[in-house]
Amino acid sequence: MSGFKRFVLGCAIAASLGIPTSNAATDLDTRIAVLRGLDKITGRITTLTTPVGDTVRFGSLAIIVRACRTRPPEEPPESAAFLDIADIKPNQPPVDVFRGWMYASSPAVSAMDHPVYDIWVLECKEPLAPPPDSGNPIETG
């Protein structure tokens, strides 16, 4: 399934479950993505903390975090990361295995399909900008 078809399917499933796919007006871009990886063969679980824009390796996977967004504290919690994941094996060309948004609250909505590894989003940390002003300044004085 192509990345675009997977994205459309993920959005359709998210909408049917009542999960908002994005609220760009209030979502906060962040500097850090926290992912969890599972090696299905060994049972090893690893937490991967990576800056947005960097590549992190997990087994034969190369994971590039393109964006990581979270909601402000006054909204229901949600983190989502846009990931490019390639399987890189020796003496073989890289194989793209996932490209799209993954949601921390609903990892099955947009999951990577790989026989050995699972990757999912835990959270997005360190917002680039402070949350928008609530409109109720505290007066002093």
What is the residue-wise DSSP string for 43-90? Answer: --EEEEEEETT-EEEETTEEEEEEEEEE--TTS---EEEEEEEEE--T
Q: What pLDDT, on a 0 to 100 scale, did the predictor assign at position 49?
A: 96
**What is the pLDDT at residue 130?**
64
pLDDT at residue 108 in the model:
83
Query: What is the C-alpha separation between 15 and 22, in angstroms, rounded?
Result: 11
Say how many CA atoms lie within 13 Å of 32 toward its Cβ: 8
The pLDDT assigned to 117 comes to 96
Mean pLDDT split into 10-residue runs, the chain, 141 residues: 45 48 68 96 96 96 96 86 96 95 89 93 87 50 45
Q: Within 13 Å of residue 39, how many CA atoms lie on the same side as its CB?
A: 13
